[in-house]
Amino acid sequence: MDRVGLWINHSKPEAITLAGQITHWFAERGWNVYTDWEKITAQGVRFLISLGGDGTLLEASREAAPYAIPVLGVNLGRLGFLCEIERNEIFDALDKITNHDYSIQERLMLTATVNDADQTFDVLNDVVFLREPSSAMVTLQANLTGETSVSYPADGLIVSTPTGSTAYALSAGGPIMSPNVEAILLTPLAAHSLSARPMVISDQENIEISLVRGEECIVSFDGYHRTAIKYGEKVVIKRASINALLIRLGKRSFPHVVREKLKDRWHE
């Protein structure tokens, strides 16, 4: 018997309602549906359906990556850069997937280690360094593969994947990167130097970010965990050993997604 998992944003009533409809749809076809994460990982589901928005898909994909579970994102949110389909397309999409008419796209992830600690964080979008609102500007030093490379006197710094280039980095003035590009993006926040520019680097680089000016800096990992580093402390970031797996139905190319989601900024 085939198995599928649901990752539900319980803060959205529409997601809960849709989860019930999807469960009924699969039950009629003899599938088992799981919503408990321990059962999802133990039962070996064929794929996972994320019901929410980009944030929900981000969370689901990050958790599913170590188990090599592909994820279908259903957009019940506002922007939906990452989600493959909208709510009204779900059952047509499920027909395709159950008939093996889909592809899986691998998305680069990052691993971040704070102060050489044993605990690490895997992210699909970004690692964000941000000064406290009450503190002055900070300076973050970025060393690439052990060499002093560039310093950023700024309000903060975003280290992002190509997936994350359409998230916080985009609003900070960074470039949009195709998810097929294997690279890492460094984007300063409100830089206090004209020479502190966004930079695209190889995904093979080991990036060491140190706080070299300022007392403290907040660091967040995909927004799901936050910590603080003090003056002289560092975070080491490199490509993760795992990739996120997203289900694609071949309906939307990346240029099409960019045009649709940012159409208010385009001129016909």
Q: What residues form the annotated binding site for NAD(+)?
A: 54-55, 125-126, 155, 166-171, 190
Distance separating alpha carbons of residues 222 and 32, to the nearest angstrom: 31
| Buried/exposed code over 239-261 (b: 16+ C-beta within 10 A; e: otherwise) | bbebbbbbbebeeeebeebbeee
- Verify whether residue 203 is a known catalytic residue: no
Place of tokens 């964000």: 128
User: Of 2, 54, 92, 118, which is the active-site residue?
Assistant: 54
Cβ atoms of 204 and 141 within 8 Å: the answer is: no
* C-alpha distance from residue 65 to each of 57, 69, 138, 220 (Å): 12, 6, 34, 20
Cβ atoms of 101 and 197 within 8 Å: the answer is: no
Place of tokens 């409100």: 190
Distance separating alpha carbons of residues 154 and 171, to the nearest angstrom: 15
Distance separating alpha carbons of residues 191 and 188, to the nearest angstrom: 6
Ramachandran angles phi, psi of 82, nearest 5° = -90, -35
Distance separating alpha carbons of residues 39 and 156, to the nearest angstrom: 40
- Cross-strand pairs, 115: none
- What sections of 132-202 are H helices per DSSP? 168-171
Q: What is the largest CA-CA distance in the chain?
A: 61
Span between the terminal Cα atoms of the chain, in Å: 50
Residues serving a catalytic function are 54
